[in-house]
Structure 1
């Protein structure tokens, strides 16, 4: 497997399910960690930003919201860039943008500057890394894809466990400006991960006739679409997009506000930040485990319903956690939320890959992320606005839980009532057996077995009758006639023992 300039698609290339794919999986692990954990970990600096720029909770919540909105809203742009230039160069440029945004933010003089630098520039850089890494992971893994998605998704909680305490340390020692500058340097590792994304190329053949090479070139030409909108004709894709957009309204709200919730209850800053570490630690084990379960033979065909169950589990955890009144109850909430959040993270892109397939996935993920961008942009700021108006965290968590539960219900019911799988067409000889009841099928099978054994016995009995009688009976009749009419047939020759059989 070598490198090429463009990623025209995996047509004619079988996913290796290993080999260099493990290096691609490691890069996707790191990129997923930065993309999803960073918008949550940056909330550690919110308290200082509020004091520095004299703003409210809703104003600082816009930082995480813009980051996630850029991560989701630039999906079509990332799809076009990947189809035009390939995954590797797009990811390396994205790493430079992610680092540059945080470095610029360290020199900000207003909250709007942070919106533009941290939110827009860094968010764009993370988006240019996140989507291509998923595309490459989908191309390198097929049978082991659920496990690969679970392991890659585990990068988010691992990074959250590291970035949240790191942010606290950097904030105390260097302030929020020094912390932003150092984090910008850490984000340069995205360029290293981009260098690991080596495209798949088909095996070289010895010699091919000119007619075959021309036919291959003609087949490759229509695949050079920068963005494929035909995925909207798939009802499964539409259902998934609607449910995921509803889910995103409340999915990212609890991790953003749980630290502030603990501080409001009178806990120390370090103790409050520990909640994100607990959440991430549980999430680390939930995602690979969920990926293993999703790869089981009897679960993988029903992965959509497994995903809807994960949504309901997450929403119920939010609703129950909204009634927390002390630190211990928040710890219990973070444990159950981490499990359900890990299930959602491990399954969301696996389900999309299963719905649209490998060829349409680069365009499908871009369009899905664009549809979810509006919900991401509205979710955390609206929750912050509700918090500023009521000063009660219970309403924020309760609303987020209801939104996630609604998405799970929509996904399960719409797939059950609106989608029907077409049965595979059996062979012509099996149609009669499939149309009969089970009892008749068993009897027919027994009858066929008995019939086959009887036919075999009859053939064995007929073998001597078919082979020997035709030769021996005819020859004996001719000999008798020869002996009886020997004089007439043989003339002067007399019958003797030598002429008898």
Structure 2
């Protein structure tokens, strides 16, 4: 639904700390919520779509999978467009596409039309780049907040107007992304600075000509063993990470509970995630935790996987509520840590390329996960096996990340430690895959001209 990036009028332009910045933050909050909560919230319509088109669970699961795949896979493209045209026009066009996709889907005559309209057209502009520093953390809270609201809202709309009317109204709501995009005005330097920029000195002009253009994707990150381990583990993780949110509402309906009560489960999940995410972020920022954040991330993944395994035995509504509470905690932990760990592995210089490549790999995996689980459900007619499969995949990813980092990641050679010691004064020696300085991270996120045109995304999103 457009790109949310910080427009920069010059290398020395600083974003305002107050005033209009709060309007931008509110706009990012809304857009982030729609982008990351929508693929999960749309699952409340699955039962009706199955009845309407006579398809199976695996067929309807493709809707969420395509949405998530577009969300993950279009990150680099979105960043290129934002850098070329600016975030305001890209976001406004993205909002129009997202709305048009849902409106067209309300007139669908087959499940393939739903894939094309809801999955591709609505999902294509769903990625967003991010704001720098703490503004990103605040805007990322839009995802669980929107999930709390969209799930029961979708169920009410379906009850009152049917799934077609619900899609039509949700398409209208997505037009609010265009309104939020309108507040993303570019930052302009002071007039005195503009005059200095227009008439640079000879030496300054020569320096600008010599400055190389940053790479969008730097494939040399694959030479980093830590990055390869992370990419493999993350790809395995997303195979099962999004399966429970997609199927938990249908699970409750299958147990005989009313539609509104079933949709409330996603609201509970999002509400818990809303508090778990920032809490885990604070814990990960502690001095004695940060050097070991990769192992904290492994714990979050194993926690999520075990929650799925235990939740597979749920047989009534109360146990599903307990499952959603623990899943929300673990899901929030994973969301708060995944890109923090990636930056710790590759460092700030290669982070933009690393995150683009990781998202592309995860887009392939997420396109397989929910439909594969749906195929298993169609075959077994038992949700227990779906949750067992999802939990096993997430637990396997945690084991891969933990053991491979423990066995294959070595400490830095002495020749490279002098600079690191100056950067990390007062901290313990760290593995090569987990070395990063928090001040360096903040400087990196505040200076988008140094990050290769691609900014991080907080969700898996998750």
TM range (shorter): 0.7 to 0.9
TM-score norm. by structure 1 comes to 0.74
**Quick check: 259-268 or 335-344, which moved more?**
259-268
2:55 aligned counterpart, secondary structure: coil
| Residues 55-74 of structure 1: pairs in structure 2 closer than 5 A | 55-74=55-74
Kindly indicate whether residue 298 of structure 2 is the aligned counterpart of residue 311 of structure 1: no
8 Å contact 1:279–1:335 — kept in the other structure? yes
What is the rounded CA distance, in whole Å, between the counterparts of 1:261 and 1:384 in structure 2?
Answer: 12
8 Å contact 1:150–1:287 — kept in the other structure? no
Kindly indicate whether residue 386 of structure 2 is the aligned counterpart of residue 424 of structure 1: no
1:325 aligned counterpart, secondary structure: coil
For residue 334 of structure 2, what is the aligned residue in structure 1? 344
Structure 2 alignment gaps of length 5 or more? 422-462
Evaluate the alpha carbon distance shift between residue 232 and residue 76 of structure 1 in structure 2; reply closer, same or farther with a 3 A threshold: farther
Kindly indicate whether residue 161 of structure 2 is the aligned counterpart of residue 170 of structure 1: no
1:175 aligned counterpart, secondary structure: helix
Could you say which structure has the greater relative contact order, defined with CA pairs below 8 angstroms and 6 or more residues apart?
2
Evaluate the alpha carbon distance shift between residue 320 and residue 73 of structure 1 in structure 2; reply closer, same or farther with a 3 A threshold: same
For residue 207 of structure 2, what is the aligned residue in structure 1? 215
Pick the aligned partner of 2:280 from 283, 286, 290: 290
8 Å contact 2:98–2:126 — kept in the other structure? yes
Shift of 1:226: 4.2
8 Å contact 2:309–2:387 — kept in the other structure? yes
Evaluate the alpha carbon distance shift between residue 425 and residue 361 of structure 1 in structure 2; reply closer, same or farther with a 3 A threshold: closer
TM-score norm. by structure 2 comes to 0.80
Shift of 1:163: 0.3
Kindly indicate whether residue 99 of structure 2 is the aligned counterpart of residue 95 of structure 1: no
Pick the aligned partner of 2:220 from 221, 225, 230: 230
8 Å contact 2:57–2:378 — kept in the other structure? yes
1:222 aligned counterpart, secondary structure: coil
2:315 aligned counterpart, secondary structure: coil
What is the rounded CA distance, in whole Å, between the counterparts of 2:420 and 2:371 in structure 1?
Answer: 57
Q: CA-to-partner distance for each residue in 1:446-480, whole Å, 9 max, x for gaps? A: xxxxxxxxxxxxxxxxxxxxxxxxxxxxxxxxxxx
For residue 467 of structure 1, what is the aligned residue in structure 2? none
**Quick check: 366-375 or 71-80, which moved more?**
71-80
Pick the aligned partner of 1:414 from 389, 396, 404: 404
8 Å contact 2:9–2:188 — kept in the other structure? no
For residue 50 of structure 1, what is the aligned residue in structure 2? 50
| Residues 126-205 of structure 1: pairs in structure 2 closer than 5 A | 126-127=126-127, 130=128, 132=129, 134=130, 137=131, 140-141=132-133, 144=134, 148-197=135-184, 204=193
For residue 276 of structure 1, what is the aligned residue in structure 2? 266
What is the rounded CA distance, in whole Å, between the counterparts of 1:149 and 1:299 in structure 2?
Answer: 21
RMSD: 2.9
Q: CA-to-partner distance for each residue in 1:378-415, whole Å, 9 max, x for gaps? A: 10011011011111111110110111111122222223
What is the rounded CA distance, in whole Å, between the counterparts of 1:19 and 1:213 in structure 2?
Answer: 34
Shift of 1:18: 7.5
Shift of 1:26: 3.5
1:55 aligned counterpart, secondary structure: coil
2:234 aligned counterpart, secondary structure: helix
Shift of 1:234: 3.2
What is the rounded CA distance, in whole Å, between the counterparts of 1:193 and 1:206 in structure 2?
Answer: 32
Evaluate the alpha carbon distance shift between residue 413 and residue 250 of structure 1 in structure 2; reply closer, same or farther with a 3 A threshold: same
What is the rounded CA distance, in whole Å, between the counterparts of 1:200 and 1:267 in structure 2?
Answer: 52
For residue 239 of structure 1, what is the aligned residue in structure 2? 229
Shift of 1:261: 1.1
8 Å contact 1:79–1:363 — kept in the other structure? no
| Residues 7-46 of structure 1: pairs in structure 2 closer than 5 A | 23-46=23-46
What is the rounded CA distance, in whole Å, between the counterparts of 1:176 and 1:419 in structure 2?
Answer: 51
**Quick check: 97-106 or 67-76, which moved more?**
67-76
Evaluate the alpha carbon distance shift between residue 251 and residue 16 of structure 1 in structure 2; reply closer, same or farther with a 3 A threshold: farther
For residue 332 of structure 1, what is the aligned residue in structure 2? 322
Structure ranking higher in helix proportion: 1
1:297 aligned counterpart, secondary structure: coil
What is the rounded CA distance, in whole Å, between the counterparts of 2:372 and 2:241 in structure 1?
Answer: 13
Shift of 1:359: 5.2
Evaluate the alpha carbon distance shift between residue 427 and residue 191 of structure 1 in structure 2; reply closer, same or farther with a 3 A threshold: closer
Shift of 1:318: 0.5
Q: CA-to-partner distance for each residue in 1:204-257, whole Å, 9 max, x for gaps? A: 4986631123203321x422x444333333333322221111110000000111
Q: CA-to-partner distance for each residue in 1:47-106, whole Å, 9 max, x for gaps? A: 111111111111111111111111122233224333433433322221111111011111
Q: CA-to-partner distance for each residue in 1:403-454, whole Å, 9 max, x for gaps? A: 11111222222233333343631899xxxxxxxxxxxxxxxxxxxxxxxxxx
Evaluate the alpha carbon distance shift between residue 238 and residue 86 of structure 1 in structure 2; reply closer, same or farther with a 3 A threshold: farther
